[in-house]
């Protein structure tokens, strides 16, 4: 029955979007976490998604079959931290600078909305497939 | 005269098989909505049905249907060709078509039952 692979595909998508929402929450929560050196400051995290085809490969399969989503890794964005001159901050270095993370709040908010929509889509897919399977189970009941 | 079950259910059982496989492909498209470089795929229903018909004639049990790539209305920067609205609409339509096939099959069942009971 190919229904269980649909459940698995939708489940993998929900899992991936949850990881994405997790990173967004972490980035937004730490947007104002200052540090006294550029090396120690919090760095924005982003998940990397990849499609895993039914044959277990990253390449496209020739035959039938869907593709799961897998979170390959969570990487830091690699942007420079912001340096602000705040001599009154207790974390300021000897020249009066503090370092803030490279988090762009607007970018994170849009990312959050996109992840939420994708998650809702997967829930919708699950509901539809559920009603398809229920219909199939009731087949023959006259 | 005997009733042949395969003939009685006609094309609906095959149609449901194609619908089910198509829903898997569409679910995969929707799942990979934010995967960079993912190319949306789909089944052409009429050619899949023809293929299934030939398969049952030959009965060699080849289960592979031909997949085609979706042509996006607007290409995206990261090479992903999934368009959420299009895929959602196709998925909903496919689910409805599945229910239609189910209804047809249920009607076939009730017709057979009436014929057997002779009422």
In sequence order, the 6+-apart residues with CB closer than 8 A to the CB of B47 are: B66
Answer whether B85's CB lies under 8 Å from B33's CB.
no
B117 within domain boundaries: no
Q: What's the confidence (pLDDT) of residue B110?
A: 87
Q: Is residue B106 within 8 angstroms of chain A, CB to CB? A: yes
B41 within domain boundaries: yes
Per-residue pLDDT for A140 more than 90? no
Q: What's the confidence (pLDDT) of residue B59?
A: 55
Can you give the pTM of this predicted structure? 0.83
| DSSP H/E element including B69 | strand B67-69
Per-residue pLDDT for A60 more than 60? no
For A96, the token pair is: 């009066």
CB contacts, 8 Å: A68 with chain B? 28, 31
Per-residue pLDDT for A56 more than 70? no
* B21–A132 C-beta distance less than 8 A: no
Per-residue pLDDT for A130 more than 80? yes
| A142 class by beta-carbon count within 10 Å (0-12 exposed, 13-18 middle, 19+ buried) | exposed
Per-residue pLDDT for A92 more than 70? yes
For A92, the token pair is: 């300021």
Q: What's the confidence (pLDDT) of residue A55?
A: 63
DSSP annotation of B72 reads -
Mean pLDDT of B5-24: 83
Domain that holds residue B31: 13-107
Answer whether A130's CB lies under 8 Å from A6's CB.
no
CB contacts, 8 Å: A5 with chain B? 24
In sequence order, the 6+-apart residues with CB closer than 8 A to the CB of B41 are: B25, B28, B29, B67, B68, B69, B70
Mean pLDDT of A76-84: 87
Answer whether A32's CB lies under 8 Å from A105's CB.
no
Mean pLDDT of A115-128: 94
CB atoms within 10 A of CB B24: 23
Q: Is residue B104 within 8 angstroms of chain A, CB to CB? A: no
- Confidence bin at A59 (pLDDT 50/70/90): low
Average pLDDT, chain A: 88
Per-residue pLDDT for A64 more than 70? no
Q: What percent of chain A has pLDDT over 90?
A: 57
Q: What's the confidence (pLDDT) of residue A97?
A: 92
Average pLDDT, chain B: 84
């Amino acid at each position: 029955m190919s229904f269980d692979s649909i459940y698995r595909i939708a489940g993998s998508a929900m899992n991936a979007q949850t990881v994405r929402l997790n990173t967004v929450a972490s980035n937004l929560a730490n947007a104002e976490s200052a540090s006294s050196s550029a090396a120690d400051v919090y760095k924005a995290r982003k998940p990397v998604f990849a499609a895993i085809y039914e044959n277990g490969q990253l390449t496209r399969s020739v035959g039938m079959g869907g593709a799961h989503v897998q979170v390959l890794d969570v990487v830091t964005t690699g942007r420079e931290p912001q340096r602000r001159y705040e001599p009154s901050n207790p974390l300021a270095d000897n020249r009066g600078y503090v370092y803030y993370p490279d988090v762009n709040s607007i970018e994170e908010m849009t990312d959050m909305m996109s992840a939420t929509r994708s998650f809702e889509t997967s829930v919708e897919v699950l509901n539809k497939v559920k009603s398809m399977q229920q219909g199939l189970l009731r087949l023959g009941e006259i | 005269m005997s009733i042949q079950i395969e003939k009685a259910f006609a094309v609906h059982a095959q149609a449901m098989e194609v619908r089910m496989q198509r829903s898997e492909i569409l679910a995969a498209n929707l799942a990979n909505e934010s995967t960079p470089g993912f190319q949306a795929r789909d089944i052409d229903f009429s050619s899949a049905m023809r293929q299934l018909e030939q398969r049952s004639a030959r009965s060699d049990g080849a289960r592979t249907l031909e997949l085609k790539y979706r042509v996006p209305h607007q290409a995206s920067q990261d090479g992903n060709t999934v368009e959420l609205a299009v895929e959602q609409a196709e998925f909903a339509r496919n689910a409805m078509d599945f229910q239609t096939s189910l209804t047809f099959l249920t009607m076939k069942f009730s017709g057979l039952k009436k014929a057997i009971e002779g009422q």
